[in-house]
Amino acid sequence: MHKAIILIILSIALAVQLSGCAQMQHQPVEQIPDALTPGIFLDETRGLIPEGVELREVYPPGIELTKISEGFRSELYNDAAGFCTIGYGHLIKKAPCDGTEKQEFIFGITEQQGEALLIEDMDWAKYSVMKAVTVELTPGQYAALVDFVFNVGSGNFNRSTLLKKLNAQQHSEVPAQFRRWIRAGGKMWQGLVTRREREVDLYLEGTAIPRLLPQEGEELPDIDIRKGESGS
């Protein structure tokens, strides 16, 4: 008799627990209108990194730049494109969250887990910078470029005037090229303006490159990170 009662109690407890899990999986997911999908995930040139390639690591200030720019969210959310995302801009799928995501994401992640995902996500950006740049880079310059590529995509970077100026060692003109990439979806985003200035700060760190600001009448045309330089 006592065993039967215990079994009933356990069955009820299990049912309540499963019901709670189901509710968590189907609860509304927040839409973040100002969160842009990192360009590295939308890049048509994204592929496998050749075996045996040793990636240059991004130093801590560079990781912090990307973390601050992406922002951390422990729970699932839909970004501005309606894509299911978590952590520091980690793209789960190019579709809204619907409760079918992996359990490790359904119940949220810690900042430490988010950072680990971010560092892994940045690998293609690291490889893209290493492959495209033909001049020596300081830790700050490398970090700034990796963040830039993570944000706009390697295809845009490879076709950019920024890369041409960099490889021609016209370093004083590079900051102005960073500052052009401030639009997405046809409008200017303050978050992109701020991110570009942070990248410029890292790029100039520890160098003698002058921090030149455009003079009146010398402003370069803005670029949409979703279209690239040729489409802006």
Residues tagged active-site? 70, 79
Across the beta sheet with 84-87, the strand order is: 30-31, 73-78, 84-87, 90-93
Residue 75, burial from CB neighbour count under 10 angstroms (0-12, 13-18, 19+): middle
| Tokens coding 173 | 């003109």
Alpha-carbon distance of 34 to 191, in angstroms, equals 8
Which one-letter DSSP state was computed for residue 82? S
DSSP 3-state of 150: helix
| 8 Å CB contact between 221 and 229 | no
- Which residue do the tokens 């295809």 mark? 155
Token digits of residue 63 = 């990781």
